[in-house]
Amino acid sequence: MPKEYRTIQEVAGPLMLVRGVENVTYNELGEIELQNGETRRCKVLEIDGGNALVQLFENSAGINLDSSKVRFLGRTMELGVSEDMLSRVFDGLGRPMDGGPDILPEKRLDVNGLPMNPAARNYPQEFIQTGISAIDGLNTLVRGQKLPIFSASGLPHAELAAQIARQAKVRGTDESFAVVFAAMGITFEEANFFIESFKETGAIDRTVLFVNLANDPAVERIATPRMALTAAEYLAFDKGMHVLVILTDITNYADALREISAARKEVPGRRGYPGYMYTDLASLYERAGRQKGKNGSITMIPILTMPEDDKTHPIPDLTGYITEGQIILSRELYRKNVTPPIDVLPSLSRLKDKGIGEGKTRADHANTMNQLFSAYARGKEAKELMVVLGEAALTDIDKLYAKFADEFEREYVSQGYHADRSIEETLDIGWKLLRILPRSELKRIKDEYLDEYYSAD
Amino acid sequence: MSTGTIKKVAGPLVIAEGMRDANMFDVVRVSEQHLIGEIIEMHGDLASIQVYEETSGLGPGEPVESTGSPMSVELGPGLIGSIFDGIQRPLDDIMKATGNNLQRGVSIPSLKRADRWTFVPSAKIGDRVIPGDIIGTVQETPVVLHKIMVPQGVSGTLAKIEGGEYTIEEAVAIVALDEGGERELTLMQKWPVRVGRPYREKLSPDVPLVTGQRVIDTLFPIAKGGVAAVPGPFGSGKTVVQHQLAKWSEADIVVYIGCGERGNEMTDVLNEFPELKDPKTGYSLMERTVLIANTSDMPVAAREASIYTGITIAEYFRDMGYSVALMADSTSRWAEALREMSGRLEEMPGEEGYPAYLGSRLAQFYERAGRVVSLGQDGREGALSVIGAVSPPGGDISEPVSQATLRIVKVFWSLDSNLAYSRHFPAINWLTSYSLYADTIGRWFSANVEEDWTDLRNRLMRLLQEEAELDEIVKLVGMDALSAPDRLKLEAARSIREDFLHQDAFHEVDTYTPPQKQGAMMRLVLAYFDEATKALNQGASVESLVKLPVREQIGRFKYTPDEEMEREYNNVLHQLQSEVADLLNRKEEE
């Protein structure tokens, strides 16, 4: 039985100071027992001689400085994992909340994980077909990638994420897959939307859910993604499954981080977020990937809402520096009723180059992709000019580009949330659009592909 | 040696008591797990230690032991082709020992102890040697001849030297010291990372570090021994630029530091470099590369050390007389690591929470670059060029790290997200970038590659400049308001952008352009402008000149393999002249 302390000195926000402790270590998990027998969890943030500064994972209501007891458990926060976790729903701290029995853990894992040795990583290069042209054709997702969705309030990121989860497959394989879903501070409605959508397709049997809703304690959110990723790592690297992890909403997670940092009176970085937020986010995102000698993989789709639609806000900014690209949703396209409203120009998949081409998608993929990007960029410029100066001010060729941009948004991007296009369909639509332009404009495409596809009908 | 006990643990910062006898910047072993740390502050009996590994599970009362020596790297055969973490632990050996995830407290020597190397002496018994003298060589890889140098503080007469197979710890020579006594020399030496390796004299850089990247070599060149910064928002292709430079720059040795960046990027380098052939030597690029990886999920304190580890290794090869290029991606993550430690030490913050010494630390780091005359009696020259990526938050370079960097570097490649969105790569903005070496290096190119290199370059720059001004007008009043010569200028500038500056890193030919071809390409795009201007003056219409079919050929010239370059160049030029002539003839017939 670990030693109990009744020496809580201070409770302020999510922090608590305990005096006179012995043999307590950094990052150790603790338990607070209230008078009514209820227990809450906490972890050690700083230990200075006999003073332990601890962070609560749950709210502090009811803690009494004199009568509440604190125990330190001699281990860090752990999650008991087993394959039975599939199809179950857990709360933000990994406790079952679907009324089912407790999990009989096969083993217990430290939720913080261990950094992956870069020499032991396998480079992600297997093409995942999501059936969404704007992603498959232009911002290709590969197995083991972390590709966030940058959204904003009121945009349909949930529909897009659910569509990806529903349609994503590696073609020509029949390997076991799983979805791990972590909700951080989102509303019941949004969480329910995902659950319903998993049920609809039957994917729910292969899904592990960790749910911290908007009315759950904010500090619990610090642990939620780590729980989810620990489960994902177990399924991927111990059980050889291909795991898709959806984390939503990272913005709420970062705000919880800021809350703790502010309570500790740390020197704030930009917009009050702590200076170590980059490292902290990296410790989540970098857990995606593939490993040498292991069959499974973790592909991660974090979702974040950009405050004020601002991509330079610290949360999207730091995320973009860590993740391997980003899918950006645009309010302008959403207003034009483009579904999904993916703004392809600032979107990017950094790993696409190794995932596309002959033997993976099709030989002409890389060339047409670059051409579509630059043609769409030029078309948008032409359209801007048209707004200012009128159509007459455009050269003939720019008029074609403007037409291309319109058609591109309508046919290529706007496919709806239920169309599942094969990569060939996507590429063919691309060629159909490129035929709007004269062949001499298609400088980024090799002659052989132009010969094969440009004139073909 | 001094032993103390832990008093406080807060993240990567550990405070230990009973450390009065330890020295500043000593390496210490923390707790029973022997985690590696470094003393960064002393207050009487208390030492503040930054620990290079995760500190979970440490608590007061555990032992801390000083090793009595500062953080050092091992220098000797075996460096090339290796991947090390921020404190020079070999990641491949760690993987063999502990599996795919990084465990703590692993103690594996940096250089492999069992490997045997063939030492070929170049000095003989009785020779007088001073620090820096080369006593022999080891063929480390097919392209790297590792020169064994006399370490610091050793001068005297060679009493024994013998060729043969040695491990890095065995004595290959014995020096009878001037001050009396003997000293055994091994293939390996050690050097503290926070101290620059000494040289005899620093020279100013005047030879280009050819990179094969057109926008860099032609417009904003970097010299051997120069320093450059690549700032840019995420998604603007910083890492691709760094990788391209690591692949193709004309350096004998490349040291690549992945500092707080993505794990998969290091994996990419590890996978790709062995496959790629160096255009000069024909051997794989890994045969000249050393990798340092502290990915963003690895302990943050080691990130601070990683760039020093990297540059010390780079200096060691520079001292052998090589041209070394060091890429650090990204220095912003290093600065953030500095900020994190500074915050934990409760120092008074400067701008945006960065410590007040950020600028001086950065300057000290970059100043270790340069072209130097090495120590030793033969006066050989080596150069160390440093290219640092900067990741400014939100792409806004008014932030402290970018600003402190800009005060030091001579070359600035400004990456632009708008260019990246339209997939113009490398997304180096030609209006905001600069190179203070442009003149001296232009002279070198003029003397060695193309007589009128500087003129061609200046014409390109002028056209691009004019395009920017004309674009303003077009935005206000439309293309129709421009005169015909101005419209032609816009077309020429577009051709410079699309046919010359745009370079596809993933195309087998386009990824590297030798200087001769760069010269030919400059000539071609300007030839079009010249011919078209002439034709315009003789009455041809702009529309017809814009639509000349030969322009497609000019655009594709970059994909022409080097060996067909000359023929194709004459071909295109001839085609251009005949098409323009045709146009004028038709005009006359009408």
- HEC string of A300-347 equals EEEEEECHHHCCCCHHHHHHHHHCCEEEEECHHHHHCCCCCCECCCCC
A281 in the same domain as A267: yes
Mean pLDDT value across residues B546-551: 90
What's the CA gap between B589 and A275, in Å, rounded? Answer: 73
A130 in the same domain as A72: no
In this predicted model, what pLDDT tens digit does every residue of B425-436 receive, in sequence order?
Answer: 999 999 999 999
Show the domain range for A272: 79-354
In this predicted model, what pLDDT tens digit does every residue of B46-57 receive, in sequence order?
Answer: 999 999 999 999
- B533 residue type, one letter: T
Instruction: Tell me whether residue A348 is in a domain.
Output: yes
What's the CA gap between A226 and A208, in Å, rounded? Answer: 13
Instruction: Tell me whether residue A99 is in a domain.
Output: yes
What's the CA gap between A135 and A271, in Å, rounded? Answer: 32
**CATH number, residue A231:** 3.40.50.12240
Using an 8 Å Cβ cutoff, are A407 and A433 in contact? yes
A114 in the same domain as A32: no
A220 in the same domain as A133: yes
Is B343's CB within 8 Å of A123's CB?
no
* Residue A456's pLDDT band (cuts 50, 70, 90): low
A268 in the same domain as A401: no
**CATH number, residue A26:** 2.40.30.20
A243 in the same domain as A387: no
Is B100's CB within 8 Å of A294's CB?
yes
A87 in the same domain as A41: no
Question: CA–CA distance from A158 to each of A187, A217, A417, B28 (Å)?
Answer: 12, 22, 11, 50
Contacts 24+ apart (CB under 8 A), B358-364: B358/B400, B358/B401, B358/B404, B359/B400, B359/B404, B359/B407, B362/B331, B362/B335, B362/B401, B362/B404, B362/B405, B362/B408, B363/B404, B363/B407, B363/B408
Peptide bond into B330 cis (omega under 30): yes
Strands of the sheet with B134-139, listed across from one edge: B145-149, B134-139, B117-121, B164-166
Mean pLDDT value across residues B95-113: 91
Is B235's CB within 8 Å of A346's CB?
yes
What's the CA gap between B237 and A113, in Å, rounded? Answer: 30
Mean pLDDT value across residues A223-251: 95
What's the CA gap between B326 and B292, in Å, rounded? Answer: 11
CB-based contact, B230 to chain A, within 8 Å: no
Is the predicted pLDDT of residue A457 greater than 60, yes or no? Answer: no
Instruction: Tell me whether residue A360 is in a domain.
Output: no
Coil, strand, or helix at residue A247? strand
Is B423's CB within 8 Å of A353's CB?
no
Instruction: Tell me whether residue A153 is in a domain.
Output: yes
Domain boundary among the residues A76, A110, A127 is at A76
CA A212 from centroid of its chain's CA atoms: 16
Is the predicted pLDDT of residue A398 greater than 80, yes or no? Answer: yes
pLDDT (0 to 100) of residue B222: 96
Is the predicted pLDDT of residue A40 greater than 60, yes or no? Answer: yes
Instruction: Tell me whether residue A265 is in a domain.
Output: yes
Instruction: Tell me whether residue A104 is in a domain.
Output: yes
A272 in the same domain as A163: yes
CB-based contact, B417 to chain A, within 8 Å: yes
pLDDT (0 to 100) of residue A340: 94
Q: Which residues contact A44 (CB under 8 A, 6 or more apart)?
A: A24, A25, A26, A27, A28, A30, A52, A53, A54, A72
Mean pLDDT value across residues B21-26: 91
Domain boundary among the residues A42, A76, A110 is at A76
Instruction: Tell me whether residue A407 is in a domain.
Output: yes
Coil, strand, or helix at residue B454? helix
Pick from B147, B69, B74, B139: nearest CA to B111: B74
Q: Token digits for B77?
A: 């055969």
In this predicted model, what pLDDT tens digit does every residue of B340-373 receive, in sequence order?
Answer: 888 888 888 888 889 999 999 999 999 999 999 9
What's the CA gap between B75 and B79, in Å, rounded? Answer: 7
* Residue A265's pLDDT band (cuts 50, 70, 90): confident
A184 in the same domain as A118: yes
Q: Token digits for B344?
A: 């934990």
Q: How many CB pairs under 8 A join A and B?
A: 219
Domain boundary among the residues A76, A106, A126 is at A76
B234: left (phi over 0), alpha (psi -120 to 50) or beta: beta
In this predicted model, what pLDDT tens digit does every residue of A81-103 receive, in sequence order?
Answer: 999 999 999 999 999 999 999 99
Instruction: Tell me whether residue A359 is in a domain.
Output: no
**Which of B83, B92, B352 is facing A270, going by the closest CB pair?**
B352
Q: Tell me how long chain A is.
A: 457
Handedness of CA A419, A423, A424, A430 (dihedral sign): positive
A118 in the same domain as A69: no
**Which of B100, B333, B556 is facing A291, going by the closest CB pair?**
B100
In this predicted model, what pLDDT tens digit does every residue of B563-587 receive, in sequence order?
Answer: 999 999 999 999 999 999 999 998 7
A313 in the same domain as A239: yes
Best residue of B264, B501, B508 to probe chain A, by most A CBs closer than 10 Å: B264
Beta partners for B183? B175
CB-based contact, B254 to chain A, within 8 Å: no
A241 in the same domain as A128: yes
Mean pLDDT value across residues A217-245: 94
In this predicted model, what pLDDT tens digit does every residue of B514-531 receive, in sequence order?
Answer: 999 999 999 999 999 999
Return the higher-pLDDT residue of B238 and B374: B374
Total of domains in chain A: 3
Q: Minimal Cα–Cα distance from A199 to chain B, Å?
A: 34
**Which of B57, B258, B478 is facing A76, going by the closest CB pair?**
B57
